[in-house]
Structures are given as C-alpha cells and as structure tokens.
Amino acid sequence: MSLGLTKTTRRIASVKSTQKITKAMEMVATVKVKRFRKAYDESLDYIAGLQKIMAKLFAYDHETKTHYAKENEGDLPVLYILITSDLGLCAAYNSNLYKFVEEHVNPDKDILVVAGEKGASHYLASHEFAHLNTDYKAYPASLEPRLINQACKDIKDAFNQKKVRKVVLISTKYVNSLSFVPEMTQLLPLQLEDQKEPDEAYCPPLFEPDARRFIHVLLPQYLGGMLYFKAIESQLSEQASRRTAMDNANDNADELLNKLTIEYNKARQGAITQEITEVVSGSVNA
C-alpha cells in the first residue's frame, strides 16, 4: 500500500511540475499573440492598398503586357516557399502544413524553399524533396530586411531567368484565435483582380510614363510586403495555436490531478484502515 502511495505522490508532483511549464508557455504565447495581432492589423491595410495599386497597374498595362502577368512556358518546376514554425508545442500547426505540401507539391520536380527551423529539420531528415533549399530557415523568426530583400531578389531572378514556371507561397491563414488553415498565395506571376471604379469607363487613370514601368519599380516592394505580411500572419497563427495547445494541456493536467488526488486519498484511507485493523488484531491476539 505504501508503494502505491509513493507512486501516486510522485505522479502528482510530476504533473504539477509539468503544469508550471505549460502555464508559463501559455502566458508567453498570450503576450506574443497580442503583439503579432497588432502587427498583423497594421500590415493588413498596407498590403490591401498595395494589392489594389498593383491590380490597377496590371489592368491598364495594355500595350506592353509585362511578363510578370503570365507563367513561364515550358516543362518547368514550380518554386514553392513554405513558412513553418521555429519552435514546437503548437499543436497541429506544422503537421497541417506538411499534409498540405504533400497534397499540392511534386517532390521529384518542384523546388521547395523552407522557412522555419521545424520545417527545415523535418524535410532534411525525410529526404523527401529532390530540390530542397533551407537557406531561409531563419526568416520567419527574424524578419530581417536583409533576408526579405535577398528572398525577393532570388524570387525575381528565378522567374526572370525562366528557371521556374511560377512562384507560390505556402503559409498559414489566420481565421480566428482558434482556427488556422494552410493556404497558397501566388507571388509570380501576379494574379490580382482589379475592382474598377464606376467612372473609369469614360475616364480611365493615366500613368506617366506607363503602367509597365510602375510595375517594375513597385514589384520588389510588393514581394517584400507580401513576404513580411505572410510571415506575421504565420507567427500570429503559430502563437495562437500554441496558446490553445497549452490551455488544453493545463485543463488535462487539472483533470489528471483530480483523478490522482482521489486515487491518493483512497490509497491513504486504505493504508490507515489496514494499520487500524492490524493494531486491533494485535491487541485482540494479545
């Protein structure tokens, strides 16, 4: 009986120790959710305005028709950029991305650029992709302008040199604090729908010198803005997912502690009853 008490006591101590960690991680994740939600809200209006401008430019690029509006021809691979997390304990955040990649990306032909330590470790260990690039694994956590500018340059060069058919970004879309889904965003060629104004039919906007030059000037800013915005959205989804996972872990720990406490009390009561029985039996025999 004493062995059962000791074992239960150790389990209770272990659960309480683990719960301290999960509660601390939940608090940290909650603070980060607030920070990234603020950055996400601030970036949302900016990227929406930038997309509107780019859509307008492509809609009125009648004469030159820049090559950034159509896919490269030929049997070329697709360049996919995947944003994963740097840390674990964020529920199904990464596994959902891995399943999404498995459904949409050809591992033998397409190029996969992985951003995030967890994703880089996963695909380096699996040897699943013939063309894997992990040079930007530090990008989601650091958000350094140098890394973003270099990524934009590499994306443009790969597309301009016709090494890839198109460039697609795979990230996590933030729906709400409990819901996050993987999504694909095509970076190149651009696919933006222009919302025409009522008066544009008889008075279209004028671009000087022309829309194509504006497209080439603004394209690096657009690509950088999209990479930054999607990284912020992914970070927000990751922290919200981790907060939910830690909250569930705390609830499970409380439930387990209640069961262990009942088990401990039963074992303790049994031990006391046994001792009383032994004392009574000894006195009777004496």
Q: Is the pLDDT of residue 196 over 80?
A: no
Burial of 80 (0-12, 13-18, 19+ CB in 10 A): buried
Higher pLDDT, 286 or 40: 40
Position 2 confidence tier, pLDDT thresholds 50, 70, 90: low
Position 143 confidence tier, pLDDT thresholds 50, 70, 90: confident
Q: Which two tokens stand for residue 211?
A: 């829309």
Domain at 45-194+204-242, CATH homologous superfamily: ATP synthase, F1 complex, gamma subunit (3.40.1380.10)
Model confidence pLDDT, tens digit, residues 154-182: 999 999 999 999 999 999 999 988 889 99
Q: Is the pLDDT of residue 66 over 90?
A: no
Long-range contact pairs involving 163-167 (C-beta distance under 8 Å, separation at least 24)? 163/76, 163/77, 163/79, 164/72, 164/76, 164/77, 164/78, 164/79, 164/111, 165/71, 165/72, 165/74, 165/76, 165/77, 165/78, 166/71, 166/72, 166/78, 166/79, 167/78, 167/79, 167/81
List, in sequence order, every residue forming a beta bridge with 131; answer none if it has no partner: 111
Position 63 confidence tier, pLDDT thresholds 50, 70, 90: low
**CA pair distance 25, 29, nearest whole angstrom:** 6
Domain residue ranges of the chain, discontinuous segments joined by +: 45-194+204-242
Model's pTM, two decimal places? 0.85
